Amino acid sequence: MTAEERAAELFARLATGDRRALARAITWVEDGAPEASALMRLAYPRTGRAHVVGITGPPWAGKSTLVDRLAVELRARGQTVAIVAVDPTSPFSGGAILGDRIRMQRTLTDPGVFMRSLAARGHLGGLSPATAEVVGLLDAFGFDVVLVETVGAGQSEVEIMELAHTTCVVVIPGMGDEIQAIKAGILEIGDVFVCNKADRDGADRTVNEIEMMLDLGHMGEPGINRWPSETEGAQASQSADGAAAPDGKASVGARAGDAALRRLDRTGHHSAEELGNVASYLTRAAAHAAARHGTANPGDISWRPPVLKTVAKDGLGVAEVVDRLGEHLTFLKETGRWQARREHDAARRLEELVRERVVRATLARARAVGDFERLVRQVADRQLDPYTAADEILRSHWGG
């Protein structure tokens, strides 16, 4: 049998609901087996239905415990759930301890739940290269919700945002210097914020800090999600003093004065200057993110992320998280962002694949005749600059 034939046979079994076939398909895709691309071609038409939710946050935030509880709650609401948990690979040995499954004890013999642990496999600080494809297979299999859990470190926040429709950021109380920690990357990516272990000291303060930051970035009333129509949004940005963000969203930092900023400070710990700095930073970051990742993600001030408290180990607050995740999905669909996101993802993916192939093919040709190595030496010796060298490769080997 050829690779295509093997892939077709496995996919046919997967399509009947065979979980062993699903597990094997995931392995092939993860390993980059010869059958992988044929599998993904077969799976693709069946993707695009699942609600992909990313769960990220620092280590020890209790993400796995929360995911376990979310799965139980989703099952109680009649949804089928797939869980993908990504853990880092040891740079020393290439091996990995995939330690999330052990914390998900409640649902693992439930036929409506499927969990797979993945190692990042050399992809520094982030999701494994195959994660998106694994999610695609689970989507194609028919799971209603796919929860993707990863440690928030390095690049992975950005990747999870690109992968997931809804990103849930999990923090814990007492994270130290709140503003610094929060500024360190998570605020820009969260659609739903969860302060877990909320029975500990400092939970309210952490929640307030995040709420405050979100207010600064969103100008909305706390806790209320405003879904203005496109025209409203456009009017708002027109009334700004010329500092509209690239895709037309209003720029808060440029509009709010000191007094307004201080009113938004619930904690009383911060100076107006600090708040102003944060507001401008967030607005710029949000605009940047919106431009890169499509309109379904933060920077989009019409979704004001809720900030929730949970004690995952006791199951407290979990139902509300599921409610809000569902609300976000509804928001995406009703405002056209779901569709826009599909197009954005398609564009990005197509671009990625084309880019990958063009680069691979072009460089392969250049290497095959020794041009690449020759040019590298010339550039290294400063006989040639890299831009000219690149031009030469393209002239000689691109599209040939």
Partner 1 sequence: MEAAPERRIRVLVAKLGLDAHDRGAKVVARAYRDAGFEVIYTGLYQRPEAVAAAAIQEDVDVVAISSLAGAHGVLIPELTRLLREQGVDDVLILAGGIIPEDDVPALLEAGVSRVFGPGSDLNEIIEYTKVNVKR
Partner 2 sequence: MAGGERKERFAGVSDRPVKRFYGPDDIAGFDYHRDLGDPGEYPFTRGVYPTMYRGKLWTMRQFAGFGTAEETNARFRYLLEQGQTGLSTAFDMPTLLGYDSDHPYANGEVGKLGVAIDSLEDFEILFEGIPLDKVSTSMTINPPASVMLAMYLVVAEKQGVSWDQVSGTIQNDILKDYIAQKTYIYPPEPSLRLITDTIAFCARHVPRWNTISISGYHIREAGATAAQELAFTLANGMTYVEAAIRAGLDVDEFAPRLSFFFDVHNDFFEEIAKFRAARRIWARVMRERFGAKNPRSWMLRTHAQTAGVSLTAQQPENNIVRVTLQALAAVLGGTQSLHTNSYDEALALPSEDAVRIALRTQQIIAEESGVANVVDPLAGSYYVEYLTGKLEEEAYAYFDQIEAQGGVIAAIEKGWFQQQIADSAYRFQRRVQSGDYKVVGVNAYVDPDEKLNVKILKVNPDVQRRQIERVRRVRETRNQQASAAALAELRRASQASENLMPYIIECVRNYCTVGEICGLWRELWGEYREESVY
In 143-173, which positions are buried (b, 16+ CB within 10 angstroms) versus exposed (e)? Answer: bbbbbbbbbbbeebbbbbbbbbbbbbbbbbb
Query: What does 130 interact with, of partner 2, partner 1, none (CB < 5 to 8 A by kind)?
Result: partner 1
177 vs 314 by CB, closer to partner 2: 314
Task: Check: CB of residue 171 under 8 Å from CB of residue 143.
Answer: no
Q: Which helix (H) or strand (E) holds 60?
A: none
DSSP readout, 253-265?
A: HHH--HHHHHHH-
Binding pattern for the stretch 97-126 against partner 2, x by CB under 8 A and - elsewhere: x-x--xx-x---------------------
The candidate with the shortest Cα–Cα distance to 282, out of 366, 325, 274, 360, is: 274
Among the listed ranges 45-53, 94-102, 282-290, 336-344, the one in contact with partner 2 (CB under 8 A) is 94-102
Query: Would you count residue 60 as binding partner 2 (CB under 8 A)?
Result: yes
DSSP symbol at 109: T
Considering the complex, state which of residue 153 and residue 243 has its C-beta at the smaller distance from partner 1: 153
CA proximity to 168, closest of 96, 249, 241, 74? 74
Binding site partner of 60, from partner 2, partner 1, none, Cβ cut-off 5-8 A by kind: partner 2
Rg, Å, the chain Cα set: 23
| 313 makes contact with partner 2 (CB under 8 A) | yes
Smallest gap from residue 377 Cβ to partner 1 (A): 21
Task: Compute the half-sphere exposure of residue 367: CA atoms within 13 Å on the CB side of its CA.
Answer: 6
Cβ within 8 Å of residue 25, ≥6 positions away: 10, 11, 14, 39, 43, 137
Q: By C-beta, is 106 or 374 nearer to partner 2?
A: 106
Q: How far is the CB of 102 from partner 2 (least distance, A)?
A: 5
- Contact region for partner 1 (CB under 8 A) — 93-101, 231-239, 323-331, 366-374? 93-101
166-195 positions binding partner 1, by CB under 8 A: none
Considering only 116, 218, 249, 328, the residue that binds partner 1 (CB under 8 A) is 116
Rounded distance, CA 151 to CA 293, Å?
20
Among 51, 63, 69, 123, binds partner 1 (CB under 8 A): 123
Number of residues that bind partner 1 (CB under 8 A): 35
| Residue matched to tokens 């209003």 | 250
Question: Does the protein bind partner 1 through residue 90 (CB under 8 A)?
Answer: yes
Binding to partner 1 by residue 105, rule CB under 8 A?
Answer: yes
Contact between 331 and partner 1 per CB under 8 A: no
Q: Could you list the residues that contact partner 2 (CB under 8 A)?
A: 60, 97, 99, 102-103, 105, 313
